Amino acid sequence: MFIFDISNPLTLILMLAATVLMIFLSQEIKKSMIGAVTLFAYLVILIVHVVQLVTLPAEFRYLVSTLSRCLVIDFVFILVTFFSYLWVDDIEAKTFGKKSVGNTLDWFWKKI
């Protein structure tokens, strides 16, 4: 059974580098949609891992620990990309004079 093992250190480093580059790119060109695409990609990966864990046949039960680690890493990446999306959306709203998705984290951005 094929799983996209993001708990592998090399894959984890590559995904982290790609995520940081996407966040930096979206911050530089002030487009929050790049962060939204990254967030959507990690949500799809999370759904794939959950489906694989739920439909895991009995002969592949040794993959439960790997899939569990992948799920934890998925949630961490989703958290990071969600906050980066909100951050870049705030930058985009201030730059172009548009309304932000929400100003509920305004107190948080002022402390950074």
Q: Is the pTM of this model over 0.95?
A: no
Residue range 2-51, pLDDT digits in tens: 788 888 899 999 999 999 999 999 999 989 899 999 999 999 999 999 99
Beta-carbon count within 10 A of 52 CB: 19
DSSP 30: T
Domain ranges of the chain: 9-111
Beta-carbon count within 10 A of 82 CB: 16
Q: Which residue, chain included where needed, has tokens 């480093």?
A: 13
